[in-house]
Chains A and B, each alone.
Chain A
Amino acid sequence: MFRDGRLTQLVLDRLIWFVLLLVVIFFSLRTDNFLSGINLINILLHASVLGILTIGQAIVLLSGNFDLSQEGTISLLTVLAAWMMLPYREMTLAQAGGVGWELHPFIVIPIMLVLGALIGLINGLLITRLQMNNFIVTLAMQLILRGAAFVISMGAIMPGTPALFNWLGGGRIGPIPVSVIATLIVFLVFAYILSNTRFGRQLYAVGSNRQAAAASGFNPAKTITTAYVIGGLMAALASWMLLGRLEVSNPTLGVGMTLETVAASVIGGVALTGGTGTIWGAFSGVLLLSVINNGLNLMEVDPFWVNGVRGLIILLALLIEAQKVRIKVRTVQTTVADKKAAAS
């Protein structure tokens, strides 16, 4: 069974899921209603926005780049959407109405998506056409976008987005939140796209060996740009979802999410160097993070300690996860040896 270490590898490739299981067990022991249906839904609910974002981040990472601009996109698009939809209100302090266009959500949502894609396109072009450093470009983009969000909103919140708009973020089908269903669908779609479409192939090829990809007739620049456009689109989708759930825009929305998405991706086995990792891996990372956040909310932890504990758990998860590398090395050696045996 273990002869060629396939089973071992099978397990190792999915180790993160076992880690996840461990964490779940831990929390269900430490808290009462952790495993209650409603709470499981909560977990998925929190996994939704982060999940959508992480898809974008993971795809950009797979192409061998970073996207730090996503959280800026969220700030800007949430503010912009509220600003376009809400009726004009004489600006009471700290709280603004819209610009007065009162656009219908069906107009606003496409605008958001287009803008998101556009931001991604700009990132992509700057990085591929001009060979600008992806890290800095997207970081600068983040500053610009969030800054713009503040300029538009003057720091004020804009509450009361229309119900139609909120459906994605806040609506429910039976007991299941729409956002959860939507997120799962998006994950399915992209998992399929990455494994079964031309783009998916190009993404992995470009991410793991750019020269070979180019020599196979691919166009790395185009692929990377597309990756960024998807990143932007996902950010836009996430903005829609988030704003729909909160029903109020706030220029500080999305602060600090970049780290979370990158963390989720990497925990899920997406390599920062590109080319390795899967959407489902990223999904497992997202789940792990949201399980931890949720569990800590249910546990009676000293509020001062919450973040510390959170970090600790992630650290432990990584520690377990990391052990596979050693074992893997051995398995790979064997497989190679097998090949050699087979060859001779």
Chain B
Amino acid sequence: MEESEVRPLLEMRGISKVFPGVQALSDMTLSVMPGEIHGLVGKNGAGKSTLMAVLMGLIQPDSGTMVIDGRQFTAMTPAQALEAGVAYVPQRINLMTSLTVAENILAGQMPTDRFGFVRWDEAFKDAAERLEKLGLKLDVYQRVEGLSVAEQTLLAISKALFSNARLIILDEPTAALPRPDINRLFGFVRSLKDRGVAFIYISHHLEEVFEICDNVTVLRNGRLVGTYPINEIDTAGLIRAMVGEDVEEYQRKKTDGRVGEPVLELKNMVRRGHYEDVNLTVRKGEVVGIAGLEGCGASALAKSLFGLDRRGLGEVTIKGKPYTATNPSEALAQGLAYLPQDRYLYGLVGGRPVRENITYTVLDRLCALFGFVRLNKEREIVAQYIEKLGIVTPSQEQAAALLSGGNQQKVVFAKLAATKPDVLVLHEPTQGIDVHAKTDIYQIVSELSEDGIAILIISSEVRELLGVCDRILVMYQGKIHQEFRVGDPNTTPQNILLAIEGANTCSETAVSPNLSLIG
């Protein structure tokens, strides 16, 4: 009993992995105690995913050993990993969308009677109960394809828990979650922690790492930088460890909102159930942020503007001209471009070369007679944007899917910027992107705004908005709830977070982010 207390649940020693031409991991060491929440941070390509792949048995390490709960492995199969109690919750949720919630929860182990026949009533009951325990309200009869992204994420995490995992790897779990869900998740993670379940928590949201983790391990270029107790390091230090040198928080040179004539104007936009009397103006060269909880109406507003969704009533003008687009092509034609939240689904055509992805929006302008693309002109333009946005790619012909997250996002940016829009709507522009790339993206945003483009950013990262925007609008329950002008004394993260929560302060939600922001 005694030694099992002290014995770590997971111990990885001297793990090395060489891919032809790249040392993905060298002599990595990682040790997780039972009931520990262990942060794992590092830039994209630092080796986090490779390390996890080794732990999941997806990749066989060249050297090194793993001890899971006293059992020693040099290499293992995914089955062994599962059996040893390791579960992985990926960033991009991977569920059986055409099947019911219950079946997704019980996949592979549907309850059967003694003749081996599936007992549906029990299945649904069981699934419902399990979800109930997590305080998760989901219709177990519903097909997963009918759930929202947030719901799907929660379901995926719950699934991992149901598979009796002792060690759960959470990879960017909060990427698509609104604050209350994050709190629920964290609360739940903590409750499990008390029961001795260990977590490896991978995230780019450092404040969350500070909020939830006990220890944090930093990787850089496939090597271990160090493992720190969370209370012995601060944000700056962590970033320093990740990046290798000091990077101060990004601060864009703010323009004064009054200069420049209005470009995008919304008057009394109403779409029942989504948003009501939204009035806002974005001026030339101005960057306006919209903050709010999931379902506060911001994303609905953005989608509607771009024609991905019905618009409802209300008047929209761009540079004084009425804006009437009902679908993306019209939207682009009338000067409004939109960077979608899910770049995998709406942003990129992963299988196609970077070159094509960048010029999709401007083909018409590139086309000569009979729609023949003028290739050299195309290459020119693409080269420009690759250079301008600093996209790291071996060639224009590289398949977009093979780029790192940050570079993929830059490609999407290039695609939009190429249309020379008057208005650019960005939805979570830095989601799942490493710190370095984020800074690049912010740089890009400010350059674009200097080009005179009116920019509207919808983001859940308050610090990001504070860094980039001139004004920050907070939406709550479909209405514009409050406006903050950056630079005003009362424009503090705390106040904004409070506003996001709808001003009525419930301690837990208000306090936890503060901690991280103060750090």
Q: Which A residues contact B (CB, under 8 angstroms)?
A: 2-5, 196-199, 201-202, 204-205, 208-209, 211-219, 275-276, 332-344
Residues 437-465 of B, flagged 1 when their CB comes within 8 A of A and 0 if not, give 10000000000000000000000000000
Closest Cβ neighbor of A336 among chain B residues: B402
Q: What are 15 A-B contacts with C-beta separation under 8 Å?
A: A208-B349, A216-B349, A276-B351, A334-B19, A334-B22, A337-B19, A337-B24, A338-B22, A339-B403, A339-B407, A340-B45, A342-B45, A344-B44, A344-B45, A344-B221
Q: Are B372 and A334 neighbours in the complex by a CB distance under 8 Å? A: no
Tell me the residues in window 191-220 of chain B with beta carbons closer than 8 Å to chain A beta carbons: 220
Segment at the A interface, from B80-88, B246-254, B363-371? B363-371
**Among A5, A201, A219, A335, which residue has the most Cβ atoms of chain B within 10 A?**
A201
Binds A, one of B181-189, B264-272, B339-347: B339-347
Taking CB as reference atom, which chain B residue is nearest A6? B394
Q: Count contacts on B: residues with CB < 8 A to the other chain.
A: 53
Cβ-based interface call for B512 (8 A): no
- Chain A residues with CB under 8 Å of B333's CB are 217
Complexed CA–CA distance, A276 and B349 (Å): 11
Contact digits for B390-407, partner A, Cβ 8 Å, 1 yes 0 no = 001010000000111011
Complex Cα–Cα for A218 and B363 (A): 10
Within 8 Å CB of A199, what residues of B? 371
B328 at the A/B interface (Cβ < 8 Å)?
yes
Q: Tell me the smallest distance from the CB of A176 to a CB of chain B, in Å.
A: 28
Known: A340-B50, A344-B43. 18 other contacts (CB 8 A): A196-B372, A197-B370, A198-B367, A204-B352, A209-B348, A211-B345, A212-B345, A212-B346, A215-B346, A217-B329, A275-B349, A333-B19, A335-B402, A337-B21, A340-B44, A340-B404, A343-B45, A344-B45
B residues less than 8 Å from A212 (CB atoms): 345-349
* CB nearest neighbor in A for B405: A343
Per-residue A-contact encoding for B308-351, CB less than 8 Å = 1, 0 else: 10000000000000000001110111000010100001111111
Would A215 and B308 be within 8 Å (CB), given that A2-B20, A208-B350, A208-B351 are in contact? yes
Q: Is the CB of B367 within 8 A of A338?
A: no
Q: Complex formed: what's the CA distance from A333 to B372 in Å?
A: 35
| Residue B134 interfacial (CB < 8 Å) | no
Complex: how many Å from CA A340 to CA B333? 36
B347 CB contacts on chain A under 8 angstroms: 212, 215
Cβ of A196 and Cβ of B308 under 8 Å apart? no
Q: How far is the CB of A211 from chain B (nearest CB, A)?
A: 5
If A208-B349, A212-B348 touch, does A217 touch B361 (CB 8 Å cutoff)? yes
| B46 close to A (CB within 8 Å) | yes
| A196 partner residues in chain B, CB cutoff 8 A | 372-373, 375
Helix, strand, loop or mixed for chain B's interface?
mixed
When the two chains form their complex, are residues B19 and A216 in contact, meaning their CB atoms are under 8 A apart? no
Residues of B within 8 A of A213 (CB): 349, 360
In the assembled complex, B283 has its CB within 8 A of some CB on chain A: no
| A-B pairs with lowest CB-CB distance, top 5 | A340-B45, A217-B329, A198-B371, A216-B360, A337-B19
**Complex CA distance for A201 and B135, rounded to whole angstroms:** 47
Q: Are B392 and A201 in contact (CB under 8 A)?
A: no
CA distance A218 to B415 in the complex (A): 13
Q: Give the CA-CA distance A3 to B394 in the complex, in Å.
A: 14
Residue B428 CB within 8 A of the other chain:
no
B352 lies within 8 A of A205 (CB): yes
Task: Determine whether the beta carbon of A218 is less than 8 Å from that of B24.
Answer: no
- The residue that B20 contacts in the complex, of A5, A216, A339, with Cβ under 8 A, is A5
Instruction: Report yes or no: B328 in contact with A217, Cβ–Cβ below 8 A.
Output: yes
Q: Does B356 contact A (CB under 8 A)?
A: yes
Smallest Cβ distance from B477 to chain A, in angstroms?
27
Q: How far is the CB of B409 from chain A (nearest CB, A)?
A: 12
Q: Which of A197, A205, A275 contacts B360 (CB 8 A)?
A: A205
B404/A339 in contact, CB under 8 A: yes
Task: A198 to B360: give the CA distance in the assembly, Å.
Answer: 9
Q: Is B351 a contact of A334 with CB atoms below 8 Å? A: no
Determine the chain A residues whose CB is within 8 A of the CB of B375 once the complex forms: 196
A211-B346 contact given A197-B370, A334-B21, CB 8 Å threshold? yes
* Nearest CB of chain B from residue A205's CB, rounded to whole Å: 5
Instruction: Please report the C-alpha to C-alpha distance between residue A344 and residue B435 in the assembled complex, in whole angstroms.
Output: 11
Please pick, from A219, A275, A343, the residue contacting B392 in the complex, using a CB distance under 8 A: A343
* Contact indicator B345/A197 (Cβ below 8 Å): no
CB-contact partner of B373 in A201, A216, A333, under 8 A: A201
Given A209-B350, A219-B329, A343-B406, A338 contacting B21 (CB threshold 8 A): yes
- Minimal Cβ-Cβ distance residue in B for A2: B20
**A214: nearest residue on chain B (CB-CB)?**
B328
**A344 touching B19 in the complex, CB below 8 Å, given contacts A208-B351, A276-B351, A337-B24:** no
Question: How far in angstroms is the closest Cβ of chain B from A11?
Answer: 15
